[in-house]
Chain A
Amino acid sequence: MARKVPEINASTQADIAFLLLIFYLVSTTMNVDSGIYRMLPPWVENEQEENANKVNDRNLLKISINSRDKLQVGGKGLDVSQLKDEVQKFILNSTNDANLPEKVETEIDLIGKYPVSKGVVSLLNTRETSYDIYIQVQNELSRAVNELRDALSMKTFGHKFIDLSSDQQKAVTSAIPNQISEAEPRVK
């Protein structure tokens, strides 16, 4: 007759597991951080030198946010919700308006000839501007560019920008660059 193996009491196993579980419950942070990426311009000793490579007036869209979080785009007051369309109109310049940015026919791998806009968005804010509105504006600028990139990706590759291969993404990015220049805020 086989000898009976004495059973090990497993009732405390649950307690041990609970203890570990609670530890991880407490120390866990579920949300993965996400944010809006921006490249800062490299540091220059003399800010005046930077202005040496001045862009043509028509290639510049001036966005300024005042200390009461009101927006002014190219001289007229706008709401944040209208900003995206304004920026897209500026970048695309579909009517070849003389007041909107020039376009340069550029040969791009995978896409071919594409009129790349020379438009630069200039963002100016005061020191009293709130961070909230600043992020909203940055978000709208990203949204404008992302939508244009998506549209171009759909047209040339038949997929959204995010689903493209890295080479294709690079091509689309060079066709529609995201050019934002941030000036030193005015000291009030």
Chain B
Amino acid sequence: MAVMKKKGNKDTPTISTSSLPDIIYMLLFFFMVTTVMREVTLQVLVGLPVASEVQKLEKKSLISFIYVGPPTVALQKQFGDSPRIQLNDSFSKLGQVIDFVAAERDKLSESDSNQMTVSLKADKNVRMGIITDIKQELRRANALKLSYTAYKHKVK
């Protein structure tokens, strides 16, 4: 105790913050590596179903997304709450699926175009009617690789 009194200075020493940027940079790089940019703003609510036998979607560039579900709460006043199809950034009619698939296919190189996969992100509460219609349209557009997107969940 006597030693401390001798010093006399009661100021708490400042903590060195020089290593703080390093820590933050570490976090930053982690997020930069793991990040996947959101490409579209969702206008439909998609509560994905749960399944155990899911496979990861490989090769992001080959995948086109079709969203199906009721409009988001903010848009429900305008559009009601019956399920709708969203392609790219807007609500779409069933007939536009073919054009959408053709446009997506054009973006891919020739060798990849038959590898194209459509990922169907549909709300679990929608009825099969609309899903079947989409499937028929996809068959017509010759986009036969389909993935029903679902959350992975182990079964018992």
Given contacts A17-B28, A33-B57, whether A185 and B129 have CB atoms under 8 Å apart is yes
> Do most interface residues of chain B lie in helix, strand or loop, or is the interface mixed?
mixed
Q: Are B35 and A35 in touch, CB under 8 angstroms?
A: no
Q: Are A36 and B148 in touch, CB under 8 angstroms?
A: yes
Q: Are B126 and A142 in touch, CB under 8 angstroms?
A: no
Total interface residues on B, CB under 8 Å, equals 54
Q: Are A32 and B128 in touch, CB under 8 angstroms?
A: no
Given contacts A27-B37, A28-B36, whether A17 and B21 have CB atoms under 8 Å apart is yes
Q: Are A131 and B128 in touch, CB under 8 angstroms?
A: yes
Interface residue A154 (Cβ < 8 Å from any Cβ of B): no
**Closest CB in chain B relative to A141 CB, distance in Å:** 9
Chain A residues contacting B57 (CB-CB under 8 Å) are 32-35
Q: Are B147 and A185 in touch, CB under 8 angstroms?
A: no
Categorize the interface residue count of chain A.
35 or more
Interface residue A139 (Cβ < 8 Å from any Cβ of B): yes
Q: Which residues B24-78 have CB closer than 8 A to chain A?
A: 24-25, 27-28, 31-32, 34-38, 49-57, 63
Interface residue A126 (Cβ < 8 Å from any Cβ of B): yes
- Bound-complex Cα distance A123 to B124 (A): 18
**Closest CB in chain A relative to B16 CB, distance in Å:** 11
> Do most interface residues of chain A lie in helix, strand or loop, or is the interface mixed?
mixed
**Closest CB in chain B relative to A147 CB, distance in Å:** 10
Q: Are B139 and A42 in touch, CB under 8 angstroms?
A: yes
Chain B residues contacting A132 (CB-CB under 8 Å) are 49, 124-125
Q: Are A127 and B127 in touch, CB under 8 angstroms?
A: yes
Binding site for B on A (CB under 8 A): 10-11, 13-14, 17-18, 20-21, 24-25, 27-30, 32-43, 125-132, 134-136, 138-139, 142-143, 146, 182, 184-185
Binding site for A on B (CB under 8 A): 17-18, 20-21, 24-25, 27-28, 31-32, 34-38, 49-57, 63, 117, 119-120, 122-129, 131-132, 135, 138-140, 142-152, 155
In the complex, given contacts A10-B21, A37-B55, A40-B143, what are 9 additional A-B residue pairs having Cβ atoms less than 8 angstroms apart?
Answer: A14-B17, A21-B27, A35-B54, A128-B127, A130-B124, A132-B49, A134-B131, A182-B135, A185-B129
